[in-house]
Amino acid sequence: MLDEIRERIANARRIVAFTGAGMSVESGIPAFRGPGGLWRTFKAEDLATPAAFERNPRLVWEWYDARRQNMAKAEPNAGHCALAGLERRAPEFLLVTQNIDGLHDRAGSRNVVKLHGDIWMLRCTVCGREHQDLRAPLPDVPPYCECGRMLRPAVVWFGEFLPPGVWSKSELAASRAEVFLTIGTSAVVYPAAGLIDVAKAGGATVIEINPQETPYSGAVDYSLRGAAGDILPRIL
Ligand code: OAD
């Protein structure tokens, strides 16, 4: 089966890889769901919603600052590197990630769409200006903008829209893909997970990589049970 998958990938002109938190588990960054997942210990509605931030910006910022510190220590794993390598050889390649940790960039991926934003970017809650800040820990939380108002992480919280333009770019690439890889995502958060349906409807060969079953496991062309850092270097 792996040979068949390798051949499909090698012959494809347009490839999309869609990644989720499982991609970074082997780099030491916990996922949200499943064993060890963040949503087992923390409540999303207390930390990852606009209402939570309005209620207690300091608490939300402390949580994001702690995650930034953990992510700053993490290194891209063999799976991130394999995807960066695939981008260099594929005629057309787009990486669509739900991850905010920046590890795909650090592994060398260049054509990356960040559906849920980027934890290293800060955005002013009033003037909207965004800038990158890689300091971890931040010297003060909450941090403030030059305009004097509070900054927030430029990530997508539950109930918010995706950043402008990211959906149309991802949807178009998924609809045209010949091979679509879905890696390390529980595929339960929409609209992101809907890209798998878009790819299938467009006729892509869909390959899933995940140690656990997902709602899409029965519907994809190949469902490989295992860790991204182990399987990706073997098929790419
Ligand atoms: P989840 O935590 O929901 O799912 C992670 C998936 O990774 C699970 O299906 C695991 O089985 C799988 N996994 C674990 N270790 C793995 C490994 N080594 N290799 C491959 N897969 C592995 O994460 P996401 O699907 O990314 O959104 O979650 C989607 C969104 O929900 C996130 O972007 C975040 C979250 O709440 C927001 O915060 C808006």
Average pLDDT of 219-234?
98
Question: What pLDDT is recorded for position 80?
Answer: 99
Phi and psi (nearest 5°) for 156? -95, 125
Question: What pLDDT is recorded for position 183?
Answer: 99
pLDDT per residue as tens digits for the range 57-78: 999 999 999 999 999 999 999 9
pLDDT per residue as tens digits for the range 16-53: 999 999 999 999 999 999 888 999 999 999 999 999 99
Point out the ligand 1 atom lying closest to the alpha carbon of residue 38: 2
Atom 19 in ligand 1: which residue has the minimum CA distance? 227
Pocket residue to mutate for ligand 1, from 41, 98, 183, most atoms within 8 A of Cβ: 98
Helix, strand and coil in the chain, % to nearest 5: 40, 20, 40
Q: Closest Cα partner for 28 from 76, 63, 65?
A: 76
C-alpha span between 83 and 79 (Å, rounded): 6
Catalytic residues: 116
Question: What pLDDT is recorded for position 35?
Answer: 86
Q: Closest Cα partner for 191 from 218, 168, 220?
A: 168
Hey, what amino acid is at 120? W
Q: 117: left (phi > 0), else alpha (psi -120 to 50), else beta?
A: left
37 lines ligand 1 (CB under 6 A): yes
Sign of CA dihedral 125, 129, 132, 135: negative
114 - beta bridge partners?
A: 97
20 lines ligand 1 (CB under 6 A): yes
Edge-first strand listing for the sheet containing 14-19? 112-114, 92-97, 14-19, 179-183, 205-209, 222-224
pLDDT above 70 covers a percentage of the chain that reads 100
Quote the pTM value.
0.98
CB-based contacts of 166, cutoff 8 Å, min separation 6 = 113, 114, 115
Question: What pLDDT is recorded for position 209?
Answer: 98
C-alpha span between 49 and 160 (Å, rounded): 8
**How close is the Cα of 103 to the center of ligand 1, in Å?**
15
pLDDT per residue as tens digits for the range 118-164: 999 999 999 999 999 999 999 999 999 999 999 999 999 999 999 98
Centre a 10 Å sphere on the Cβ of residue 212 and count the other Cβ atoms it contains: 11
Phi and psi (nearest 5°) for 173? -65, -40
